[in-house]
Amino acid sequence: MNCAVLQFPGSNCDQDAVKAVAGTLSLKADLVWHETADLNAYDLIIVPGGFSYGDYLRAGAIARFSKAMQATVAAAERGAYVLGICNGFQILTEAGLLPGALRRNDHRQFRCDMVELEVVNGATDFTRAYEKARVTIPIAHGEGNYYVDDEMLKRLEENQQIVFRYASEQSPNGSVANIAGVINERGNVLGMMPHPERAVSERLGSTDGISLFRSILTSWRDGHAS
Amino acid sequence: MRREPTEQEIRDQRMYVKFGLTDDEYARICTRLGRLPNYTETGVFSVMWSEHCSYKSSRKHLRRFPTQGTHVLQGPGENAGIIDIGDNLAVSFKMESHNHPTAVEPYQGAATGVGGIIRDVFTMGARPIALLNSLRFGTLDQARTRYLFSHAVEGIAFYGNCIGIPTVGGEVVFDARYAENPLVNAMCIGLMTHDQIATGHASGVGNPVLVVGAKTGRDGIHGATFASAQDPNEKERSAVQVGDPFMEKLLLEACLELIATGRVVGIQDMGAAGLTSSSAEMASRAGSGLTLDVSRVPCRETGMSPYEIMLSESQERMLVVMKEGESAIAEEIFAKWGLEATVIGRVTDDGSLRITEGERVAAELPIAALVDEAPVLDRPAVRPAYLDQLNVAPVRLSTQGDLTGDLLALVAEPTIASKEWVYRQYDTMVRTETLVRPGADAAVIGIPDSQKAIATSADGNGKYVYLNPRQGGAMAVAEAARNIVCTGARPLAVTDCLNYGNPEKPEIFYQFRESIDGMSEACEKLGTPVISGNVSFYNETGGQDIYPTPIIGMVGLLEQAERLVTSAFKRGEGAVYLLAPKGQAIRDGLGGSAYLAMKRPDEALSYQLPAFDLDAEKAVQDACLALAEAGVLAAAHDISDGGLAVALAESCVQGSVGLAVAVTIAPDDEQEVLLFGESPSRILVQVRAGQEKRLKELASSFLVSFLPLGAVAETDRFHITLNEKTAIDAEVSALRDAWRGAIASWMN
Amino acid sequence: MNFIASIRVTLKESVLDPQGSAVVHALHSLSFTSVSDVRIGKYMEVSFHADDEQTARAQVSRMCDQLLTNPVIETYSFTLAEVRE
Amino acid sequence: MNFIASIRVTLKESVLDPQGSAVVHALHSLSFTSVSDVRIGKYMEVSFHADDEQTARAQVSRMCDQLLTNPVIETYSFTLAEVRE
Ligand SMILES: Nc1ncnc2c1ncn2[C@@H]1O[C@H](COP(=O)(O)OP(=O)(O)O)[C@@H](O)[C@H]1O
Ligand SMILES: [Mg+2]
């Protein structure tokens, strides 16, 4: 599986994603500069966390127009896996690869914490390796307050596109229906506010991000078995 | 364009006074130059000779700090100090104040403080890996304080989070003394290999000088002078800058990439007094001269005069000297990051700073006069009368106290309460190397691809220094080191940020001078040289000075990261002991304590501090370190604000465990001192299961006492028995709620 | 011709505005008790050149639709002024 | 009488507006190359009650000075509209 981690001016979890891929899958992910227009070689594209273009205007609003993002849209169309983490999730919604929008947290503060998540859909290509329904993965964001209107929410629920929810009754940011991560209809693009790449070893306080990376590799192998 | 005043007008109308120069200083400048300085030159002198840049009040005294050590690669004098941590690795760190800007615009003031200290570290060639901040505000019952506090924290979070450096520690103290003069001290730590070290030297005649990063605007002109002004609210309001962490992130990446090429001769960040101080200091260090054409400096605004360009404090800029003929490399690398790198001049050998605007010479000044010959003052120091009126501290306040109630109230005092409300706004985990996040004694950060980790802590207690400047200074260093050894790390070196009132008052200057001696003695004893630092004077409003508040930032090394010890008590492990100086587990009353301040606010400043002995401190720290290295400790926690009872409560809450403590003390009426007294040099330790024998063996080899306190319990009860009577009986969950909820309840 | 467009971006009515409610509270505690509601949005001034007013208007709309606002949660309105040197 | 104040808050001319510069770049790369400058500020709508227009005006100024803006780096302007049920 060839893996790319996009790098925008202002990305700051790019190296962490590379480290996590190496640590959990023993694969060397390529850092891909935002001016790259060709992502044909990649099976997994990670859009990492950070503050692309300073998150000025709106988080993810400017990054979406980069060449690398246009190539990512094309890659998603051909069926490659796309994983947007935190700022990456914001970029994917701005780019229209995922529904909804991420607003400022309802309490108006940045929030960094270990949070408990419910794995709502453990059957996706990104979550099939999860053996438990509750996992602990950190968040770190100021604009993670997921919004969709009622109609879209119904559709997400019907299609089982809600992949992660915050497990505590009160979400850490005010998200509609406690949503922490959603997948597209086709099932190859996942966006999530929590940081699985920060939960890959005991010394970081959680290993619950490992299964996410493993799931992708297993799914990719299955897809390429025949 | 406005006409600039002429040389004669500046003299005749004493315009230099507005710039912050005294009659004396102005006369000296005229004599030195042999002529009258023009407008630009007067401006340049005024910032270079300001307290902020010249350290004129403090310079003489700062020399007493120990700065040597076999592991010191770079001591004070550069943008940041550097220490060796072995394996060709080094860490660079420094702390700096942004107090005055924060008082005026807390969000941007605090944010740009963080931005400035990050630049200081990456100019050394180090990649920043951690941030800390030390904060002082008034009391939270004041709406203005809540405004300053919440916005300053938000500004710190905004900058650090955006640039992607974890904020891993710090401290916050609330006291009415800081209501008008909040303190924001920011510290940054960077990691590098030995061959990456860069310095701020402008050497090599003919080498090109470049301005890189953001464009120059009119912001912050005279910020350096303003930092030294007595009333921050009266000063020029244009002196506040706006930070752009996105720009700084790009600048950081570009500079590190540039330094890695090996073609950089010298590099320095443009902080206070912008282009003026960076150019003068770089030339001064190299003994060279510079000629700069300000018309080539990329400006954000039109019609900027040489004066404005030289004094602008626009953020996110650097001055770089490249090897001759290599400036194109800089332009290329910066272009990749979407930034400008522009040659604005050359290095010369005539010892002067020549500023031109195109062909016209706008200023020409001897660098020695700007830097080395800046005034050094010998300010008078007089022992304040209050020091001789302090009483021997009481050992008991109430005849019939509700000690449980007292503990619950004490843990909810904002200064003692959990600072989670603050640090949950900081990204503490980015870079995925934060092994101990905020909330413990010291933060621990792993070194990538290595067994090593560093521990770091920022500490200071202004009230202690007020009550006993010399001892208080030493205690600040001791506490920082104690926090470090509690993680199992060995203290290595110190950066400091010295925040004081008006140095022109002899009593204030006495506090300054004495506390420096105290800090120096402690640094000497504990083997932690001072490698960088910063001074902030004039933290005074309406005649009221802040407490003398030196903050110590310390870094220590853990050779084996997996050996690290945390402060949370753990289930299934052994007993809890009090590690203290021999025969002195309890002593000397409640002077200076948070308990006294809570119960008898009017008398909080009336009593002497408990005694402090550096040899005893060193013995306790050595013992703790040896125990940690031997793998005997399940937990270790320093006893500081709030005393033993608060420290026990914190370790229980952090570990979600109960506790049963039983101690016999004589005489019977020293209960409150035992529970809440703040005698220094004490550490709580929990021994690993089955290791009690090892503990006793090891302990006897140190001149320290190990007082058994009790055992961790599987319950929700926090129970302390003194002389066979229940002294405190609380639910751990109640302590937790009081401790964790206190600041949030004020802020919501 | 040189123009300045003054653009006001607000959250859609249906989208909760937590910042606004926080400001209402703060105003109340400063004893501006007669304040009943606050909505907070963005204000932008874009200086640009266009051949005529109609083109200018169309351009501003496109900038807003493509970049300056997110139609999922925001709406906008703007006024246009010609600038003469 | 019920009023709505529409308040525009912008950074002072001399103060760096990092958001604005980022947006200029983005607009250029979207081929809105005729854009020369963007300033980004806040827009607020405050609904409140006052006895008459003059009092209303004075109140809005005080809200802006005390809470809604920081005069050190920002300036503001507003328009006032009466609302009839
Ligand atoms: N401003 C702050 N920023 C980040 N962390 C903080 C801040 N203030 C306090 N903390 C964290 O809270 C914990 C407790 O701080 P403090 O009460 O000062 O501890 P101690 O008395 O052991 O030095 C520490 O881990 C510290 O790093
Ligand atoms: Mg401590």
- Domains in chain A: boundaries: 3-223
Task: Answer whether A203 sits within 8 Å of B561, measured CB to CB.
Answer: yes
Distance CA B148, CA B171 (A): 16
> Can you tell me whether residue D28 is helix, strand or coil?
helix
Compute the nearest-CA separation of D22 from chain A (Å): 7
Taking 90 as the threshold, does the pLDDT of residue B95 lie above it?
A: yes
Provide the pLDDT for residue B234. 41
For D48, nearest residue in chain C (alpha carbons): C35
Among candidate residues A3, A86, A94, A118, the one labeled active-site is A86
B204 pLDDT higher than 70:
yes
Q: Nearest-CA neighbor of A121 among A159, A173, A82, A151?
A: A159
User: Which residues are registered as beta bridge partners of A192?
Assistant: A85, A181
User: Element (H or E) spanning D7, and its range?
Assistant: strand D2-11
Q: In chain A, what residues touch B162 (CB-CB under 8 Å)?
A: 10, 12, 51, 54-55
Of B467, B534, B539, nearest to B502 (Cα)?
Answer: B539
pLDDT value of position C18:
84
Residue B118 has pLDDT above 70, yes or no: yes
CB within 8 Å: A108 and C67: no
For the domain with range A3-223, which CATH number is right: 3.40.50.880, 2.60.40.10, 3.90.1280.10, 2.40.30.40?
3.40.50.880
Please check whether residue B488 is in contact with residue B628, taking contact to mean a CB–CB distance below 8 angstroms. Answer: yes
Task: Check: CB of residue A68 under 8 Å from CB of residue A32.
Answer: yes
Asked whether residue B240 carries a pLDDT value surpassing 90, the answer given is no
Helix (H/G/I), strand (E/B), else coil: B312:
coil
Is the backbone of residue B489 left (phi > 0), alpha (psi -120 to 50) or beta? beta
**Does A13 qualify as catalytic in the annotation?**
no
Nearest CA in chain A to D26: A62
> What pLDDT does B236 receive?
41
* Residues in a beta bridge with D24: none
Alpha carbon of B176 to ligand 1 centroid (Å)? 20
D15 neighbourhood in chain B, CB within 8 Å:
219, 242
B163-183: per-residue pLDDT in tens?
Answer: 999 999 999 999 999 999 999
Shortest distance, CA A39 to any CA of chain D (angstroms): 21
Distance B414 CA to ligand 2 centre (A): 16
Domain segments of chain C as ranges? 2-83
Tell me the β-bridge partners of C80: C5
Q: Kindly tell me the sign of the dihedral angle through the C-alpha atoms of B419, B422, B425, B427.
A: negative
Question: B367-376 burial, b if ≥16 CB within 10 A, otherwise e?
Answer: bbbbbebbee
Q: What is the pLDDT of residue B584?
A: 65
SS3 B681: coil
Give the pLDDT confidence score for residue B2 in this predicted structure. Answer: 61
Q: Which amino acid is at B20?
A: G
CB within 8 Å of B159: residues ≥ 6 apart? B110, B111, B112, B114, B115, B118, B243, B245, B248
- Whole-number pLDDT of residue B230: 47
- D19, D29, D40 ranked by CB distance to A65: nearest: D29
Chain B residues within 8 A of D17 when measuring between CB atoms: 242
* d(CA A97, ligand 2 centre) in Å: 48
Find chain D residues with C-beta within 8 A of C46's C-beta.
Answer: 27, 35, 37-38
The ligand that comes nearest to the alpha carbon of residue B456 is 1
Domain ranges, residue B691: 565-748
- The closest residue, in CA terms, to atom 20 on ligand 1 is B441
> CA–CA distance from A78 to each of A112, B55, B169, B469 (Å)?
35, 64, 46, 70
User: B70: Cβ–Cβ under 8 A, 6 or more apart, which residues?
Assistant: none
Tell the CATH topology of D2-83. Answer: Mth169; Chain: A , (3.30.1280)
**Does D27 sit within 8 Å of C67, measured CB to CB?**
yes
8 Å CB contact of A54 and D40: no
The beta-carbon neighbor of C70 closest among A62, A101, A105 is A101
User: How many C-beta neighbours within 10 Å does residue B629 have?
Assistant: 16
Name the helix (H) or strand (E) containing B533: strand B530-536
The contacts of residue B610 (CB under 8 Å, 6+ apart) are B393, B587, B588, B589, B591, B592, B677, B678, B679, B680
Q: How far is CA A111 from CA A138, B276, B425, B745, in A?
A: 10, 39, 5, 17
Q: What are φ and ψ of residue B19, in 5° steps?
A: -75, -10
Catalytic residues of B: 52, 98
Task: Tokens for B154, please give them.
Answer: 């938000």
Residue nearest to atom 15 of ligand 1 (CA): B171
Give the C-alpha separation, B108 to B159, whole Å.
Answer: 9
How many domains, in total, are found in chain B?
1
Asked about A131 being catalytic, the answer comes back as: no
Higher confidence at residue B238 or residue B738?
Answer: B738
Out of A100, A101, A108, the one facing C18 most closely (by C-beta) is A108
Ligand showing the shortest atom-to-Cα distance for residue B442: 1
How many whole angstroms from B157 Cα to the centroid of ligand 1?
A: 15
The label of the residue with tokens 């000690």 reads B403
Q: Is D79 near chain B, with CB under 8 Å?
A: no
Give the mutation candidate from A57, A66, A93 for the C interface (greatest C CB count, under 10 A).
A57
Measured CA to CA, the distance from residue B90 to residue B86 in angstroms comes to 7
Phi-psi region of A178 (alpha: psi -120 to 50; beta: other; left: phi over 0): left
Say how many Å lie between the CA of residue B743 and the centre of ligand 2: 19
Distance CA A164, CA A215 (A): 15
Given this model, what pLDDT does residue A141 score?
A: 98
- Cα of first residue to Cα of last residue in chain A, in angstroms, is 15
User: Is residue B232 pLDDT above 50, yes or no?
Assistant: no
Considering the entire predicted model, what is its pTM?
A: 0.95
* Residue numbers in D near B246 (CB within 8 A): 18, 22
Partner residue facing A65 (CB), from D18, D19, D30: D30
pLDDT reading at B646 higher than 90: yes
Residue B233 has pLDDT above 50, yes or no: no
CB atoms within 10 A of CB C30: 14
| DSSP tag of B609 | P
Residue B102's closest CA among B174, B188, B20, B186?
Answer: B186
- Report pLDDT digits (tens) over D39-52: 999 999 999 999 99
Query: CB count, 10 Å around CB of B127?
Result: 17
Measure the CA angle with vertex B133, ends B493 and B559; round to 5°. Answer: 40
Question: Which of A118-127, B226-235, B549-558 has the weakest average pLDDT?
Answer: B226-235
SS3 for B266?
strand
Q: Chain A residues with CB-CB distance to C under 8 A? A: 57-58, 61-62, 65, 93-94, 100-101, 103-108, 147-149, 174
- Identify the pLDDT of residue B133: 98
Mean pLDDT of the B571-582 span: 94
Cβ-based neighbours of B664, under 8 Å, separated by 6 or more: B722, B723, B724
The 10s digit of each residue's pLDDT in A78-120 is: 999 999 999 999 999 999 999 999 999 999 999 999 999 999 9
Residues of chain C found within 8 Å of residue D37, distances taken between Cβ atoms: 45-47
Place of tokens 């950081």: B252
Question: What percentage of chain B has pLDDT greater than the value 90?
Answer: 88
Smallest CA-to-CA distance from B212 within B354, B324, B338, B352 is with: B338
Which residue in B555, B557, B494, B483 sits closest to B522, CA to CA?
B494
Nearest CA in chain C to D46: C38
Q: What does the block give as tokens for B252? A: 């950081």
Q: In the structure encoding, which two tokens stand for residue A143, read together?
A: 């604009």
Best probe of the D interface among B108, B251, B314, by most D CBs < 10 A, is B108
* Residue range A167-195, pLDDT digits in tens: 988 899 999 999 999 999 999 999 999 99
DSSP code, position D51: S
d(CA A138, CA B429): 9
CA of B728 to the centre of ligand 1 (A): 25
pLDDT at B378: 94
Q: How far is D54 from chain A (nearest CA, A)?
A: 34
All residues of chain C having their beta carbon less than 8 Å from the beta carbon of residue D30 are: 63, 66-67
- Whether the Cβ atoms of residue B695 and residue B637 lie closer than 8 Å to each other: no
Give the residue on D whose Cα is nearest the Cα of C19. D44
Residues with CB under 6 A from ligand 1: B 133, 135, 167, 169-172, 419, 422-423, 438-441, 443, 459, 483, 638, 640-641
Closest CA to A110 of B588, B189, B153, B520: B153
Partners of B635 in beta bridges: B686
Q: E-strand spans in B104-206? A: 127-137, 167-174, 183-193
Burial of A175 (0-12, 13-18, 19+ CB in 10 A): buried
B549 vs B501: CA distance, rounded Å: 9
Between chains, do C67 and D30 touch, taking CB under 8 Å as contact? yes
Residue of C36, C43, C47 lying closest to D37 (CB–CB): C47
**D64 DSSP assignment:** I
Shortest CB distance from A109 goes to which of B250, B425, B446? B425
Contact criterion met (CB < 8 Å) for A101 and C19 = no
Radius of gyration of chain C, Cα coordinates, nearest whole angstrom: 16
Average of per-residue pLDDT across A148-172:
96
List the structure tokens of B361: 């010479």
- Residue D14 and residue B308 in contact, taking contact as beta carbons nearer than 8 Å: no
Confidence of residue B235 (pLDDT cuts 50, 70, 90): very low
Q: A22 CA distance to ligand 2 centroid (A)?
A: 36
**Which chain A residue has its CA at the smallest distance from D18's CA?**
A56
In total, chain A counts a number of residues equal to 226
Give the pLDDT of residue A224: 86
| In the predicted structure, residue B365 carries a pLDDT above the cut 90 | yes
pLDDT score of B587 more than 70: no
Q: Are B315 and B399 in contact (CB under 8 A)?
A: no
Q: Least CA distance to D72: which residue of chain B? A: B237
A:C CB pairs within 8 Å: 32
Taking only the tens place, the pLDDT of each residue in B347-364 is 999 999 999 999 999 999
Report which DSSP code applies to B608.
Answer: P
